[in-house]
């Protein structure tokens, strides 16, 4: 049941971030600069952190997110992607979302939040997004995409359930019947911790 609520929360977060990123990415594409194929979370993070610390010196990472839509399994790892990073400032009690491409990071939205917002220890993060996508494909994702053309695949790095400090979630959702596939990966060692349809 907790996993179901986590999936619902992830879906809502993806909608918010995806909408914010769409505004930025549309502007970026109009200038003729787009994300490079294979642009990973670890490649995007330094730019996000720099922009976040310029926003607030006490900024702490909350999550990283990206989504891919309407791709075949063999296209997933090389498709262009922009990353959304969310940071929390304890001093201002607000979060800010940054959209990151190889061209740089841009703040897209700020939201006031409660002081209980969970942040993550980025020092626990060893496994990059490309490996998580590969694990997703190897644990049912390839079949899921073959059976669900037009599906959306999203990645989220952030706090897990309960006391779990950090987890990768790879989440696929069909564009037609809303069927899903979730694969949970340990960001420290790449171990697949759970998978659920």
| Distance, CA of 10 to CA of 152 (rounded, Å) | 13
Query: Which residues have C-beta within 8 Å of that of residue 16, sequence separation ≥ 6?
Result: none
Domain range for 25 is 2-196
Burial class (CB in 10 A: 0-12, 13-18, 19+), 110: middle
Rounded to the nearest 5 degrees, what angle is found at the Cα of 128, between the Cα atoms of 127 and 132? 85
Percentage above 70 pLDDT, the chain: 81
pLDDT in tens, 105-123: 999 999 999 888 999 999 9
Whether the CB-CB separation of 192 and 134 falls below 8 Å is answered with no
**Residue 114: predicted pLDDT:** 83
What domain count does the chain have?
A: 1
Confidence of residue 195 (pLDDT cuts 50, 70, 90): confident
Has residue 6 got a pLDDT over 50?
A: no
| Distance, CA of 135 to CA of 63 (rounded, Å) | 20
Q: DSSP secondary-structure letter at 92? A: T
pTM: 0.81
Confidence of residue 79 (pLDDT cuts 50, 70, 90): confident
**Residue 31: predicted pLDDT:** 33
Has residue 24 got a pLDDT over 50?
A: no
Best CA proximity match to 165, nearest among 126, 125, 129, 133:
125
Phi-psi label, residue 180: left if phi above 0, alpha if psi -120 to 50, beta otherwise? beta
């Amino acid at each position: 049941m907790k996993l179901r609520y986590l999936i619902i929360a992830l879906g809502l977060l993806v909608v918010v971030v995806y909408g914010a990123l769409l505004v930025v990415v549309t502007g970026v594409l109009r200038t003729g600069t787009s994300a490079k194929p294979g642009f990973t979370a670890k490649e995007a993070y330094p730019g996000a952190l720099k922009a976040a610390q310029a926003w607030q010196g006490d900024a702490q990472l909350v999550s990283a997110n990206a989504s891919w839509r309407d791709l075949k399994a063999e296209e997933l790892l090389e498709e262009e992607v922009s990353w959304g990073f969310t940071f929390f400032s304890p001093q201002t009690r607000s979060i800010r979302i940054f959209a990151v491409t190889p061209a740089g990071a841009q703040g897209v939205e700020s939201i006031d939040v409660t002081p209980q917002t969970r942040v993550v220890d980025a020092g626990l993060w060893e496994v990059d997004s490309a490996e998580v996508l590969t694990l997703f494909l190897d644990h049912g994702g390839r079949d899921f995409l073959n059976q669900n053309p037009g599906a959306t695949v999203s990645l989220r790095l952030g706090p897990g359930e309960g006391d779990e400090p950090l987890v990768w979630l790879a989440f696929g959702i069909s564009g037609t019947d809303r069927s899903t596939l979730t694969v949970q990966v340990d960001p420290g060692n790449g171990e697949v911790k759970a998978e659920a349809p």
